[in-house]
């Protein structure tokens, strides 16, 4: 008898979940990205106990038919690509087709969805990867996903979670960043019954920044608008005095994806280096558009990093873009007034 066997679907999903779903904030990120891809105008997130006990994401996007909803929760099932070539210049945030299957395999999961033009919706429930129910369901158009008791069946992973407070703050962080990268969508986050974030969804980055970080930040922001070697950057950068001890106020968006990237972080640090009155990280929201052939988006299961064909070009664009923005006349006026 062979000692090798192909793993069953539920086990495969649980293993994959280890990569895609690191913590509640990664669930929130995947689900919000799905809502964005679905063309939502408004996304409502509610969490309890750091998201570990409960998370719910409601959107007003296109919704799914029953047939699609049943497919959506299968592994490698996606409406977003057909072939790997589609990854080149892809417009959607998702493409791996594993988020829903992974999340549903490590939680008590429900998906309620209704197409904009149908009279009735569908509700699917899954427990630890096992399909439990699929029923017609009265619901508003759009999609709601509920996730309870994350990692209840993978105790090793659950043990690595931090306190509810830390997990909540990681969720606040990612919701804020996704709101900044989608200022035309209105986001609401409720943490343990208290409203924590509301963004206007009016398309303005500055208004989104002030909704997230307080109205006082507003007067310390400069627009950035830069173009060089086919890289285009817009967004806002702050006076060197508007600082935080972490990079929590720094949002890096590359081709509409919120990512973290060392080269870009270094370029920000270097641009501000001589200007900072003390140690810290200024507020920046950089929306960077890079030609598709210069960036590989499929390098990370959580899609939180990308790979550039040439880091130097990116570094230079960010560095000069920020210097340029800080050097604008408004900034010089501020320098004069404060000296």
Residues in contact with Mg ion by CB under 5 A are: 34, 94, 99
281, two tokens: 């990280």
Neighbours of 22 (CB within 10 A): 18
Number of residues that bind ligand ADP (CB under 6 A): 23
Nearest approach, Cβ of residue 61 and ligand ADP (Å): 5
Burial class (CB within 10 angstroms; exposed 0-12, middle 13-18, buried 19+) of 148: middle
| Binds 196: which of Mg ion, ligand ADP, none (CB < 5-8 Å by kind) | none
> Least distance (Å) from ligand ADP to the CB of residue 74?
8
Q: How far apart are CA 155 and CA 186, in angstroms?
A: 35
Q: Which of 56, 31, 27, 39 is nearest to 141 (CA)?
A: 39
Helices (H), the chain: 9-20, 24-37, 66-72, 99-105, 155-159, 164-181, 205-213, 262-272, 311-326, 329-338
Contact 123, 111 (CB under 8 A): yes
Q: Please state, in angstroms and rounded to a whole number, the distance separating the CA atoms of residues 56 and 146.
A: 4
| Residues contacting residue 285 through CB under 8 Å, at least 6 positions apart | 180, 205, 209, 235, 236, 237, 250, 251, 253
Rule CB under 6 A: choose which of 13, 26, 35, 238 binds ligand ADP. 35
Question: What does the block give as tokens for 148?
Answer: 């309870």
Residue of 24, 51, 61, 321 interacting with ligand ADP (CB under 6 A): 61
Among positions 94-123, residues that touch ligand ADP (CB under 6 A) are 94-101
Smallest separation, CB 201 to Mg ion (Å): 21
Token pair in block for residue 43: 């996304």
What is d(CA 334, CA 220) in angstroms, rounded to the nearest whole number?
A: 9
38 binds ligand ADP (CB under 6 A): yes
Chain residues 64-93 in contact with ligand ADP, contact rule CB under 6 A: 64, 72, 77-80
Scanning 55-63, 159-167, 273-281, 324-332 for contacts with ligand ADP by CB under 6 A, the matching segment is 55-63
The dihedral built from the CA positions of residue 282, 285, 291 and 296, taken in this order, carries a sign that is positive
Given the complex with ligand ADP, which of 35 and 287 has the nearer CB atom? 35
d(CA 39, CA 48): 26
- Minimum distance from residue 273 beta carbon to Mg ion (Å): 38
User: Binding ligand ADP by CB under 6 A: which of 26, 34, 105, 199?
Assistant: 34
Cβ proximity to ligand ADP, 31 vs 212, nearer residue: 31
User: If you ran DSSP here, which 8-state letter would residue 278 be given?
Assistant: S
Between 131 and 215, name the residue whose CB sits nearer to ligand ADP. 131
CB 263, min distance to Mg ion, A:
26
Stretch that binds ligand ADP, among 60-68, 128-136, 239-247, 284-292 (CB under 6 A): 60-68
Nearer to Mg ion, 102 or 196 (CB): 102
Query: Which residue, judged by CB position, is nearest to ligand ADP in the bound state?
Result: 94
- Nearer to Mg ion by Cβ, of 110 and 217: the residue is 110
Q: Which is nearer to ligand ADP, 64 or 237 (by Cβ)?
A: 64
Residue 78 contact, options Mg ion, ligand ADP, none, Cβ 5-8 Å cut-off depending on partner type: ligand ADP
In this structure, what token pair is assigned to residue 29?
């990120």
Phi, psi of 291 (to 5 degrees): -55, 140
Return residues touching ligand ADP (CB under 6 A): 30, 34-35, 38, 59, 61-64, 72, 77-80, 94-101, 143
């Amino acid at each position: 008898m062979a000692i090798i066997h192909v793993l069953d679907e539920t086990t495969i999903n649980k293993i994959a979940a280890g990569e895609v779903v690191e913590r509640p904030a990664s669930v929130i990120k995947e689900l919000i990205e799905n809502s964005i891809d679905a063309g939502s105008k408004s996304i409502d997130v509610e969490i309890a106990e750091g998201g570990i006990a409960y998370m719910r994401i409601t959107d007003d996007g296109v919704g799914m038919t029953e047939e699609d909803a049943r497919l959506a929760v299968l592994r490698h099932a996606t409406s977003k690509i057909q072939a790997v070539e589609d990854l080149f210049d892809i417009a959607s945030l998702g493409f791996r087709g594993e988020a829903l299957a992974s999340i549903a395999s490590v939680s008590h999961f429900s998906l309620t969805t209704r197409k904009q033009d149908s009279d009735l919706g569908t509700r699917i429930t899954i427990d630890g990867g096992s399909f439990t129910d699929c029923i017609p369901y009265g619901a508003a158009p759009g999609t709601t996903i509920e996730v309870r008791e994350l990692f209840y069946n993978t105790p090793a992973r659950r043990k690595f979670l931090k306190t509810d407070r830390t997990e909540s703050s990681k969720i606040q962080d990612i919701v804020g960043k996704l709101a900044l990268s989608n200022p035309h969508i209105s986001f609401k986050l409720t943490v343990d019954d208290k409203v924590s974030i509301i963004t206007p969804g009016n398309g303005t980055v500055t208004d989104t920044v002030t909704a997230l970080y307080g109205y006082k930040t507003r007067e310390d922001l400069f627009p950035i608008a830069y173009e060089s070697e086919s890289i285009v950057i817009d967004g806002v950068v702050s006076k060197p005095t508007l600082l935080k001890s972490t990079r929590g106020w720094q949002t890096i968006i590359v081709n509409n994806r919120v990512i973290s990237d060392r080269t870009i972080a270094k370029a920000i640090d270097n641009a501000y280096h001589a200007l900072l009155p003390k140690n810290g990280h200024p507020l920046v929201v950089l929306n960077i558009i890079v030609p598709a052939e210069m960036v590989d988006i499929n390098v990370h299961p959580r899609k939180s990093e990308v790979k550039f064909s040439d880091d130097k070009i990116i570094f230079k664009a960010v560095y000069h873009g920020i210097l340029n923005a800080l050097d604008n006349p408004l900034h010089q006026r501020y320098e004069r007034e404060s000296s």
